[in-house]
Structure formats: structure tokens, C-alpha cells
Amino acid sequence: MSATHSRVDLEAGFDAFYKDSRDRLLLQTYALTGDLGAARSAVRDAYVVGWHHWRKVHRLDDPESSVRPIAWRNAIRRATARPWRREKGRDPEHEKTLEALSGLPVTQRKALLLSQLATVPMVELAREVGLPADSVQRELQTATAQFAIARSVPSSSIPLLLSNLGDAVRGVTWPRATIIRRAGAARRRAHTLVGAVVVVLAMLGSGALVTDATGVRASLDRELPASPTSGGPVTAGPEISLPDTSLLPVEDVRQGLVGSWFEGGTSDNSTGNGLVLPCQRERYADPEGHATWVRKFRNGQRGEATRFVTQVAEASADERSAGRTFNRLRRWVAGCSTPGMHLVSTAVADEVGDESAVLLLSTAEPAETFVVAIARSGLFTTALGLETDVPPARADRQAVANLLSQSVNRLCRLPDGGACGQTPPALEDVPPFPAGPVPAMLSPIDLPPVGDPGSEWVGTRPQQITGGRTDLGVLGCDTVDLGEEFEGRALRADLVRTFVKPGSELPPEFGLTQAVGSLPADEAGAFLARFRDEVSRCPDEEAGAGTDVRLLQRLDDEDRSFSAWHLTTELPREQTVEYGVAVVRSGGALSQLVFISAADARMSDADFVALVERSLTRLGELPKYRR
């Protein structure tokens, strides 16, 4: 048979396979994710990969077993941003079936769909699910029972319910087989080009890459960008290689951190809830990325570990996407929404990748400390999360930064890598990264633990300051405040916010109030000077008020200044109120802080001063005064 006839036969065989199996595979993938758009894109792109490897795939007894795992993996990733979303006009019975499926863990869901919609042998089913045969049998039995209970039907009705979902996919349009084949051919050419580059690098003695038989390791999924459900053309870009050999080995962790470290496993983060780092909000920082790896390490034997390290690495399609990925990861941690989390410090690791960040956080209950280090090198973003039970002061930020640099040095050698890292890197403390609805103001993550650690700080929505506020002044003292004009000038960008602990048994006056506003720099300096003078004279001029004033700390550093006081005021009926007051200036930006304590919820002087210093570092984000 001639080469021409051989190619014709291959094309005819693929076209027949594509037309025969695509609707069946779409039904399975739709049932797996509940997202028709994500399912269609994933199935389409899986066929592109299938044509890329068709010379091998067509020899299999069941070619679908090669294409289906790619489609399922891609669909799970693409559906993560909108899990089990409700589509308009969806049949109510279909909705019930999809809801019942969504209640199953991914492993059980896969087993159920493979047994009911793919009819694969148990050995093949176990291979696709990734479990031993006896284990997958138990998972299948559990999934069958749970689904039947959720749908209130006998198990014998499950095949019909799942098959009925086919009504939802029948109207889907598909690209022509020729378009799929063209995209697959473009993908093959891209692989060949990257493979040639890798070979050249190896010949030059780099020794940095481990590749598969094609010269590049296939990405985990999303070989092509997701597209709408229209039947438009499919385009293929160059494959981006992120091999798991580019992750940290356990030997590096053992050398870098004290303890007996063991590798806990490596995955593509497509199962479970996907939240593997402290403060992580979504499964992927780049929902449209090309690949993701997660590797976990533990200090001590399973069940005895007191410290954990997790590395995440993601590959983005281009530099702009990679920059957004880095910023999203940093924003998640800098503005951590995990209840009880407190930001201790922020730093950058000098000359590590194209950009970096090292953040130290802690919780009071349970008493835990977290170091999260993030860096980007070219198209690759990596993050390390250390979880430990040592106090924040003993957490080794430098050791984690060293590991971050080693991680970057593995990624920067890849074809799409960027800047490498120096080891050990110099850590430079920097102002906290923007967080919260108004970056110039404090957020709950800035506030230290006070009172019952099980009761969390909650901030009200920032609002413009209105006149007549009594929570910005000093009890028993006549002082200026940011709720009024100063020397005939109205404040600009003026906002006020209060932090309380709802649901606690603390008195209603307990809480922290912060106000901010801007004036011209000279007037802002005059405001701070007057406030200082009025508070210091308060005990003498308002002797009858019974207010005691104690200066905690004062700073004057060019155009950055603050004063923090601890005040005690005697009230009628032998009541006493203790509170902290501060005035802060950064250029023309001003802030006032008033913290009212309670008997069971006091803030130490050191914590209050640290909070005032944090407000100073954030205040620089306030818009400048415009005349």
C-alpha cells in the first residue's frame, strides 16, 4: 500500500471515529461536569490531540479510552470557574440528575459514568479512574447507592436517567473533521519544533529537561484555548511544556528545612476542592492556563506531621496571562479571606524570577503560622506554602525563600521560562500589598487577635464621612477630627470604616474605627500637629473629665508621621473606658484610629502600635488631594 493510500486510510478512519463517538463522549463529559460549554470545548480539543497521535491511537481496540481521559481532565479544569452552573432552559429532570451527580466525589462520579455510559470492562474502568480494581468496585457501589438515594429511584433506573441527558447535547454543532485534523497537524508541528529545541539544549549540555518520546511532555490539559459552543474553527498554539520533573524534589526540602521530610504525592489538582495553598480561593490561579502541578511534602510520618509544604506550579499561555496569574495568587494571600488569618509581614525575594512575594501569616485558634512564597519566571508561576505550629517569630522565611529560588531555577530553564534566581536570595521587607475594598484602609487581615479567637473581625463597608460622628473623637477631650473641615478646606477621598466582632458577647461600644481623608500636604501636617497638641493638653484642660493620656509611640520621618496613645477615661458609676487613639499622616493623606477595648477583649500596647504602623504603610494608597 502506498504512503498516499495509507494517509487516506488514516484520515477516513479518524473521520469515522470522530463522527461516531463525539456525541457519546460529549454526553459523558457533560454528565461529569454539568457544564455543556466546557464539556464541548474539552471534547473538541481532545479529538485534536487524538489526531495528533492517531497513528498510535487507531491501533487500539477502543480508541475512545485514549481520548476520553483527555476530554474529562480538560472539562474538569474548565468547569471549575463555574461549577455545576445552572443553564437557562434546562429540563427540570436533567437538573435533578446533574445535582445528584454533583454530590458525588469526582472519583465515584467517573466510576458511575464509565459503568453506565461507556460500558468499559472493570479492569479498564479501574485504570481510567486510577484505583485498584477492588477499590474502584467499592467506589462504584457507593456511587450507585448514593445517586439512587439522591434521585429517589431504584438503581435499575440509573442508566435511563443518565441516557436522558443526551437530549441536552443533541443540538450541539461540531467543527468539521477536516478542521480538527488541521488543528491536530498544527499541534504536531509545534511539538516537533519544541522537541528540536530541547534536543539542541541537551546537546549543549544543559541537562535541564526530561522529555517524553515526542521531545516534550504533554501538558496536563487545555491543549487549546476554550471557545464558545459555536462551531467555529479550532486553532492550535505552541505546546507549553511543564514537566513534573521541574518541581522541587524532596531532597531539596530536606536540605532546606529542619525536620524529617517526606513527599506526600504529586497531582494535577483536578480532584477534590482544589484549594491546596493557604488563602487560595479557586482551584486554578489561571483558569485558562496550559498545565498545573501540585506536590506536597510533610514533616514526619503520616498522622504525626506538624509541618507541611505544598508547591503549586502553573503554566500560562503568554506573559500577560502569567503576570495576571502571579497577581491573583498574591492578591489571594495579601487579602486573605480565611477567618482569623492575620498578616504579619510582607517581603520580596531579591532577584528571584521576574517578580516575587513572601508573606507571613498566622492564626490564633488554632495557633498556626504560614509562610507563602510566590514567584513568576516567564510563563510559569510557582508558589510554596509552609504550614507550621511554631510562632511567627520563629518561622523561617529565609528558608522558604531559598526553596522558592530553587523552584524558580528549575522553571527558568524550560523553553518558556524567564529570569532565574540567586540562592540564597535577599529578603526585603516591603509595605503590604493592596487588600480589601479600599487599599488605603485597614482590612480584617491587618487586625491582631483580640478576645475570643473564635470570634472573627468583620469590617463594615467603607462610607463617606458625615458630620457629627462621635466615634472619631477622644472621650473627654476637644480635638479636631476628620469629620469636619480643617482651616476652611474640605477633605477629599474621606472614608470611615468600623471593625467589630458580630455574634460575640462584647459590649456594643467595643470595636475599631478608622477614618481617612486627604488635604494639601501643609494642611495635613498642621492637622496632625494640632491633634497632637490637643490630646497632650487634654488631662490639664479637661481635668474634670478624668482622662489619663499615655503616649505609646511617636514617629516623624520626613513626610510620614504618627502618634499613638493609650487613654483611660473615668465615667459615672465608677466605670472606666480604656481605648487607643492614633493620628497618622503620609504626605497629604491622614488617618485617625480609635479602638475601644472591653474587659475580655484588650489590645496590647505593642499590638496597637503595630496596627498604627500598618495603617501608615497602607495610607500611601489614598488618592492625593486635588485642588
Mean pLDDT across 211-230? 35
Compute the mean pLDDT over every residue in the chain, rounded to the nearest whole number. 85
Give percent of the chain with pLDDT exceeding 90. Answer: 52
Per-residue model confidence (pLDDT) at position 224: 38
Whether the predicted pLDDT of 83 surpasses 80: no
Per-residue model confidence (pLDDT) at position 233: 37
Cα→Cα distances 582→352, 463, 500, Å: 38, 20, 18
How far apart are alpha carbons 73 and 42 in whole angstroms?
A: 8
Determine which of 86-100, 253-267, 273-287, 385-399 has the lowest per-residue pLDDT on average.
86-100
Q: How confident is the model at residue 182 (pLDDT cuts 50, 70, 90)?
A: confident
How far apart are alpha carbons 40 and 51 in whole angstroms?
A: 17
CATH number of 444-619: 3.40.1000
Per-residue model confidence (pLDDT) at position 4: 45
Per-residue model confidence (pLDDT) at position 445: 95
Whether the predicted pLDDT of 73 surpasses 90: no
Q: How confident is the model at residue 74 (pLDDT cuts 50, 70, 90)?
A: confident
Give percent of the chain with pLDDT exceeding 70. Answer: 85
How far apart are alpha carbons 571 and 546 in whole angstroms?
A: 8
Strand order in the sheet with 492-500: 458-459, 492-500, 511-518, 589-596, 575-586, 560-571, 547-557
**Mind giving me the DSSP string for 94-146?**
HHHHHHHHHTS-HHHHHHHHIIIII---HHHHHHHHTS-HHHHHHHHHHHHHH
Q: How confident is the model at residue 541 (pLDDT cuts 50, 70, 90)?
A: low
Per-residue model confidence (pLDDT) at position 210: 36
Per-residue model confidence (pLDDT) at position 2: 41
Per-residue model confidence (pLDDT) at position 212: 37
pLDDT in tens, 447-504: 999 988 778 899 999 999 876 566 676 766 778 888 778 888 888 999 999 999 987 8
Per-residue model confidence (pLDDT) at position 574: 65
DSSP assignment, residue 545? Answer: G
Whether the predicted pLDDT of 407 surpasses 80: yes
Per-residue model confidence (pLDDT) at position 292: 92
Cα→Cα distances 138→29, 32, 111, 152, 271, Å: 22, 19, 10, 21, 18
DSSP assignment, residue 311? Answer: E
How far apart are alpha carbons 294 and 310 in whole angstroms?
A: 7
| Higher per-residue pLDDT: 305 or 340 | 340
Mean pLDDT across 592-606? 92
How far apart are alpha carbons 597 and 507 in whole angstroms?
A: 9
DSSP assignment, residue 487? Answer: T
How far apart are alpha carbons 534 and 549 in whole angstroms?
A: 11
Beta carbons of 290 and 316 less than 8 angstroms apart:
yes
Instruction: Show the DSSP H helices in 470-541 as ranges.
Output: 521-541
Cα→Cα distances 256→91, 360, 396, 429, Å: 56, 18, 10, 21
- CA-based angle 576:603:496, to the nearest 5? 90
Q: Which long-range contacts (CB under 8 A, 24 or more apart) does 95-99 make?
A: 96/151, 97/31, 97/151, 97/161, 97/162, 97/164, 97/165, 98/31, 98/34, 98/165, 99/150
CB-based burial label for 287 (10 Å; 0-12, 13-18, 19+): middle
How big, in percent rounded to 5, are the helix, strand and coil portions of the chain?
40, 20, 40
Closest CA to 417 of 381, 385, 383: 381
Question: In CATH terms, are 244-429 and 444-619 the same topology?
Answer: yes
CA dihedral of 566, 564, 529, 500, whole degrees rounded to 10: -90
How far apart are alpha carbons 602 and 450 in whole angstroms?
A: 6
Q: Which three cell numbers stand for residue 200?
A: 539542541
Instruction: Show the DSSP H helices in 152-301 as ranges.
Output: 158-164, 177-203, 250-256
| Higher per-residue pLDDT: 474 or 446 | 446
| Higher per-residue pLDDT: 304 or 153 | 153
Per-residue model confidence (pLDDT) at position 365: 84
Per-residue model confidence (pLDDT) at position 91: 86
Q: Which three cell numbers stand for residue 151?
A: 434521585
Beta carbons of 262 and 297 less than 8 angstroms apart:
yes
| Higher per-residue pLDDT: 388 or 540 | 388
φ, ψ dihedrals at 272, nearest 5°: 70, -165
Instruction: Show the DSSP H helices in 257-295 as ranges.
Output: none
Domains of the chain, by residue range, sit at 244-429, 444-619
* 244-429 placed in CATH 3.40.50.40: no
How far apart are alpha carbons 260 and 255 in whole angstroms?
A: 10
Q: How confident is the model at residue 241 (pLDDT cuts 50, 70, 90)?
A: confident
DSSP assignment, residue 446? Answer: G
- List 308's β-bridge partners, or say none: 298, 387
Instruction: Extract the runs of DSSP E, i.e. beta strands, from 11-111.
Output: none
pLDDT in tens, 10-68: 889 999 999 999 999 999 999 999 988 889 989 999 999 898 889 888 888 889 988 99
pLDDT in tens, 562-580: 999 999 887 666 678 888 9
Determine which of 78-82, 348-352, 468-472 has the lowest per-residue pLDDT on average.
78-82
Angle of helix 106-113 relative to helix 122-129, nearest 10 degrees, comes to 150
Whether the predicted pLDDT of 82 surpasses 80: no
Closest CA to 493 of 524, 528, 518, 525: 518
Locus of grid cell 473627654: 476
Neighbours of 9 (CB within 10 A): 12
Per-residue model confidence (pLDDT) at position 342: 95
Q: Which three cell numbers stand for residue 377?
A: 519566571
Mean pLDDT across 209-219? 34
pLDDT in tens, 118-137: 878 888 888 888 888 778 88
Residues 314, 323, 619, 281, CA torsion sign: negative
Cα→Cα distances 341→280, 283, 334, 444, Å: 13, 20, 11, 8
| Higher per-residue pLDDT: 495 or 8 | 495
pLDDT in tens, 352-403: 999 999 999 999 888 999 999 999 999 999 999 999 999 999 999 999 999 9
Mean pLDDT across 326-343? 94
The whole model's pTM is what? 0.64
- Of 105-119, 300-314, 373-387, where does the model show the most confidence? 373-387
Instruction: Extract the runs of DSSP E, i.e. beta strands, from 319-434.
Output: 342-349, 355-363, 368-377, 380-388, 427-429
Per-residue model confidence (pLDDT) at position 191: 54
Instruction: Show the DSSP H helices in 412-459 as ranges.
Output: none
Helix (H, G, I), strand (E, B) or coil at 150: helix
Neighbours of 577 (CB within 10 A): 17
Beta carbons of 411 and 334 less than 8 angstroms apart:
no
Per-residue model confidence (pLDDT) at position 545: 56
How far apart are alpha carbons 25 and 40 in whole angstroms?
A: 9
Cα→Cα distances 404→277, 289, 304, 318, Å: 15, 21, 26, 22
